[in-house]
Chain A
């Protein structure tokens, strides 16, 4: 649906984004993870057609956006809506804000009012409709901004750090409302976050961005599993390829397991420990994403990534092709 090809973007001569391809297909749930300054917000602004890349092409439904611009730059933009990291509301009431996108599309006043009431109800904003934007808390502003973006029913919703202004409860409510919205109507979501938890919760397609490039070391260690029923308090064992991973959880049924790369202990041989998950394999890759931290990928039946120090790599003599043992506790495995 929306695709970037050969995109390079510069600010003051410095390349801040460099992507050979990046596509958002209809109905996709993409999470872009990366540290602050990794280029996530720039990428979202380009996807939202608010910035033109210095080089490369943006295609909407296979057609270059530049071909669609003669109708007006707003024509292609009306397919994609961005909610910024710290969204702003226009002066005026919450109801004015919710109806803004509809009014600029020339929707009749009665229809605007109806749609505003509906979206307000779905996002639990009905009691706030008469409030002025400056009277809202940060969490409420965030919720209004997301509801305002969805009121125009975009094909793609771009969310930049949607949970940053909200506490956990508010973030949970927001995610719940988004999930309900997706049940009501199919649209793609592309969410940028520096919190892996948000990415795990949302994305079925997680892409890592580092220094403006898609990182080959993805925050993987993500596995879709079927958790069995088990007695409360007992360890559960989930099949992941040829591995059986021990997990502490009370959930059962379909789930996503996330093993934080920093919670994996790497050794040359099996050592007695409290770790319930110990897998031997071969190192396939060493990547240095930031100074001092090395991402070690090993094939232990599936690819697992661990983050260790440069000193540990040296002490253990880790190198591609060499053996390694990856160990992590059952309680370190996160379940979503």
Chain B
């Protein structure tokens, strides 16, 4: 128990000391997560709409792929991406391996299925009369999609939350393609894994607390937005 209590004491001391390394890691994690969430949702939510909105050849197969991808092991995605980005890989010339954009790419691959599958479910949950009503009143494709999105906005906000949760908590791919380089590609999750393995329990715990606070802040922010739009 002492060991745990000592860990918490160190964690709070670090948090309030304004340690540059700790806050640098937190900032990088936030940046990576926000960019990856934005990219994954920008592609995943329209894909989810397309999957849910109208039947097309291969739709069921596409849904199965997306749903299967939800359970894709992050380290496997990391390995595949490593193969693509390494010097001998087809995208090696981009020199992205062991950079933070590589972590973003890995996170996007992992969060895209989350955004697509959950937004497809959100759209499928909207009363089909909403779409028909918008169409019969003369709305085009975009206006109709917007009408559906407005009805599903709470579920779509949950998509953002889930995608952010996926990117901020991801460790396997970030470790492999980011390399966990101090001051460059070290994120909260990779740092926690490293410090815990080195016995730096207090430091690992401090970073873990920041991670939880970060997720909490984003969730509270989204809930506040949902509250404003509840009318």
Contacts and interface: CB of A to CB of B under 8 A. Distances in A.
Contacts of B134: 90, 100, 104
A77 interface: yes
Contacts of B135: 50, 73-74, 77
Contacts of B231: 92, 132
A51 to B, nearest CB: 9
A80 B129 CA distance: 16
A152 B138 contact: yes
- Residue of B137, B147, B231 ringed by the most chain A CB atoms within 10 A: B137
Interface residues of B, number: 18
Interface string A147-162: 0110010000000000
A74 B140 contact: yes
B143 interface: yes
A78 interface: yes
Judged by DSSP, the binding face of B is: helix
A57 to B, nearest CB: 20
A326 to B, nearest CB: 43
Nearest to B136: A82
A104 B139 CA distance: 6
Contacts of B140: 72-74, 104
Contacts of B42: none
Size bracket of the A interface = 20 to 34
A290 interface: no
A175 B124 CA distance: 35
Interface in A67-94: 72-74, 77-78, 80-82, 84, 86-88, 90-92
A101 interface: yes
Given A90-B150, A90-B151, A91-B150, A45 B132 contact: yes
A152 B137 contact: yes
A14 interface: no
B142 to A, nearest CB: 10
A81 B129 contact: no
Given A90-B150, A91-B150, A132-B231, A82 B138 contact: no
B151 A101 contact: no
A88 B130 contact: yes
A101 B127 contact: no
Contacts of B143: 104
A87 B133 contact: yes
A247 interface: no
B164 to A, nearest CB: 25
A82 B147 contact: no
- The 10 A-B residue pairs with the shortest CB-CB distance, nearest first, are A101-B137, A78-B138, A104-B139, A88-B129, A82-B136, A74-B140, A104-B143, A104-B138, A50-B132, A48-B136
25 contacts: A45-B132, A48-B136, A50-B135, A50-B136, A72-B140, A73-B135, A73-B140, A74-B135, A74-B139, A78-B138, A80-B136, A81-B136, A81-B138, A84-B133, A86-B129, A87-B129, A90-B130, A90-B133, A90-B134, A90-B150, A90-B151, A91-B150, A92-B231, A100-B137, A105-B138
